[in-house]
Amino acid sequence: MRRTLALAVLISSALALAGCGGGSAPTPPPPPPPLSGGPTGQLGSGSSGQTQARSDTGPAQAEGWGHLTGRFVLKGTPPAPQPLNITKDQEFCGKHNLVDESLVVGPEGGLANVVIFVRTRRVKIHPELEAAKDEPVILKNENCRFEPRIVSVLVGQKLYVTNPDPVAHNTNISVPGGGGGNYSIPANVDKPNDSYVFTFSLQQNVPVAVACNIHPWMKGYVVIRKTPYVAITGKDGKFELKNLPAGELEFQIWHEKAGFLELPGWTKGRKKITIKANETVDLGTIEVPLEVLQGG
């Protein structure tokens, strides 16, 4: 009798526990699928097969590349070009009718030799432009003048100075931080392999003057930057900066007659512009009053 009663109590307890639990214990959920589509720090790829970068310091940055164009024109009547005083090698240099080229204006008012470059630090460089540092840049002592008057070179890029003239020249580039010098260039040196080579190790915030001590009227400039985002206007005043990284960038403009150009919207020659991927920002016509250039 006691054994029968104990068995009944045990059966009742088991039935009560089964009613509270609602049946058998639930099956635990499966673990989440592993991330895929690339290294740590990327989200898994979706149906498109693309991955999206993830930043630990803020939202993802804009991706892509855009362009910037514009045209600088002189506002006012340009002065007539003044003849240069030829004091050396007159038989050759004197026959070229050399004039002061510090202010060159095209037939439709285009302002030449305006330098515009990206001032923003640590900008991305388009893959097609990365190879630019391997290309030689040539500065000629030609017809007793520098050609081109303003040349742009990357830090670490080779600048070849040639001299196709039948008279000797010297090229004097004084650069803070190394890479400059004052070197004689013999006559009739018209091949890069036979020329003197400059290589600059530090970026310069302003264009660096180039001079020839033998012919003191010869003047030019070298723009030395870490990125290839530099443009120099021709006689039409136009410029184009291609394959800029999308996002807000700060640009700076310079002319040898005034230094950094103070214009409406350009404080100390600086202006921030938003570049959009796959689009061209056209600044249109930018007028530079003559009086801005008369102080140089």
Kindly report, residue by residue over 164-205, the tens digit of the pLDDT: 999 999 999 999 877 889 999 999 998 877 889 999 999 999
pTM (two decimals): 0.78
**CATH code of residue 70:** 2.60.40.10
Number of domains in the chain: 2
CA 14/CA 18 separation, integer angstroms: 6
Residue 42 phi/psi, 5° resolution? -120, 145
Q: Which residue has the higher pLDDT, 20 or 150?
A: 150
Query: 56 in helix, strand or coil?
Result: coil
* Chain centroid to CA 196: 26
- Rounded to an integer, the average pLDDT of 70-79 is 96
The yes-or-no verdict on residue 10 having pLDDT over 80 is: no
Do 296 and 252 sit in the same domain of this protein? yes
pLDDT at 192: 77
Q: How far apart are CA 178 and CA 154, in angstroms?
A: 14
In a shared domain, residues 239 and 289: yes
Domain residues for the domain of 75 are 61-123+230-296
Whether the CA torsion 191, 193, 197, 201 is positive or negative: it is: positive
Confidence of residue 272 (pLDDT cuts 50, 70, 90): very high
The pLDDT score that the predictor gives to residue 62 is 57
Task: Please tell me whether residues 74 and 203 are part of one structural domain.
Answer: no
Q: What is the mean pLDDT of residues 93-103?
A: 97
Listed in sequence order, the DSSP H helices in 37-114 are 90-93
Tokens of 175: 């650069």
Single out the residue in 174, 201, 228 at which a domain terminates: 228
Per-residue model confidence (pLDDT) at position 9 = 38
Strand-pair partners of 162: 140
**Predicted pLDDT at 2:** 41
